[in-house]
Structure 1
Amino acid sequence: MGEPEEDEPQAVAAGLPEAMAAVLADYERHLLSERDLTEHTVRAYLGDVAAMLEHAHRLGHRDVCTLDLRTLRSWLAQQQVLGRARTTLARRATAVRVFTSWAHRTGLAQTDAGALLGSPKARRTLPAALRADEARALLEAAAVHADDGSPLGLRDVALLEMLYATGIRVGELCGLDLDDVDRERRVVRVLGKGRKERTVPFGVPAERALDAWVHRGRPRLVADDSGSALFLGARGRRLDQRAVRTVVHRRLAEVPGAPDLGPHGLRHTAATHLLEGGADLRSVQELLGHASLATTQIYTHVTNERLRQAYRQAHPRA
């Protein structure tokens, strides 16, 4: 399924019957205007629902009012046969349940076909994280590249320091504006998932790196369309997530033995080191912007696993 034109409804691009296309277009408007979701989340929801409706259409359905649990289960089963990961299947099942609930609530369907649709349990894997010495080596490697005072070098140090100091998401980092940073109080205002705002502190090294970037690096990259973006690309536009990932991978490649992590790996690292340093789980939840404490609790497993590894390596009767 190709990319739709900017004003073309997702449903039309999916090649659906007119009735299904109209419902999906209404659902898109609902997500954008009433749910206040990010564009990325809306695209993901619509893509999953459109794929399910295409499957239903192939089975003979021409309207959402005829959807049934058997059809939804056969679609998920097909996804599994295609080798989709458990986490992907769980996400798609959730997207469909939200859609069928909305269709039932708005009178478009007499029953909620997805109410009993189960989700495969995802295998919870421990997120990779750097050791404290590896994190220090990463930041030192970036500092070496900034020794010549180049604006990109200063920017890279600042963004790496901020990712590690705050644990913010890469999208949150790229969305920062100059006035989101309170350097006097050493806190940054972040707009997270669901447009929820939170304030996250950062330390002295990040403050120094930010000062160097804002006063000596950023002015040399500013262009007409820079706006108030805190971090800029080489052409002066707001830095995008792909560029940040490139920076993280490139600098980590210079740290011997370090795992190849992306920006999200630095988020995991920050959370792990906070807990290892004695921070309580609730505080880490607030800092990371997790809606559920259960999401944050995975980092306790990371620290416990490190403790077990240290015990096995050090205790003579382990």
Structure 2
Amino acid sequence: MESTSPTSNIKLGNIRRKSINLSPTELVKVDLLPSGKIPLVIQPVVEGLNLVKWAQDNQEFIKKTLLQYRALLFRGFNINTTDLFNQFVSTTSSGQLLEYRDRSSPRHEISNKIYTSTDYPADQSIYLHNEGTYWLTYPLKIYFCCLVAAQQGGETPIADCRQVFQRISPQTRQKFIDKNILYVRNYNDGFGLTWQTVFQTEDKAVVEEYCNKNAIEYEWKTGDRLRTRSYRQAIAKHPITGELSWFNHAAFFHVSTLEPTLQEALLAEFKQEDLPNNTYYGDGSQIEPELLEEIRTAYQQEKIMFPWQQGDLLMLDNLSVAHSRTPFIGKRKVVVAMTDPVKN
């Protein structure tokens, strides 16, 4: 589901970084890409430095640096268990961990609200997106940890959505500001996740309660099928800085973003309104194809890739930075946690 236009993506492993003195201690070094692109890479100067203990002692530095760069990559600290990952998340977050409900990607829970990043097939891409833009409450922070790096591929590309917003024309931005987004999802038609998986229940009453609490319209159809409709903002204002970010699944969930063969198969099987996922303007009208292509191009122009190393920990400001996944070969284990809930 990821577009592949030939743009100047940036790979950390292929370019030389310059070191800058940003750390409040002498225990770590902070590397900035020559281009100034995220993520900021934080590495230990001394062998065996305990990242959790260092984070406890430098919480203000981490907070300020994340707010400045929006993406921090902690490398060389050997975070090799979900327990260590969870300790770091708990140390550096100021809110509760979020449960993964109203799912769009297959995942499973490893420990208390620590999940696999995705169980999506290894040969497929996942398009750039911010976590939970279609939820009523989304995480301000999202964390990834590479416990096992793939033999080949499997990167988690990122993109600064403040810059994506700037790349999109003022006319397009204003149209989405005025109309917002409508997400329409259909479950149990033989494609995509079932409503039982998405809402983590077999009980329709539990689904209805969740929908009512989260401003989701629902409609039960024959054959145990479900349709939901969610009206959400297309552009978000950062709760601390007030900066605007492109913050939606308008392109990700739109049928035109799918690979051509899958797109053709779905459109041959379903009417537009019955597709597993699709997006519209908030008034229900179609989003113009040229605007969707403009959005995809903006993401692609801002996409940054770097190879995972085992033990890497990536901390993102989820409102400001989108993430994705490339296909891979070999075993890969990347875990995720979401914290600091914000009302959409």
Same fold by TM-score greater than 0.5: no
Larger RCO of the pair (alpha carbons < 8 Å, separation 6+): 2
TM-score norm. by structure 1 comes to 0.24
Structure (1 or 2) with the greater strand fraction: 2
Bigger Rg over Cα: 1
Structure (1 or 2) with the greater helix fraction: 1
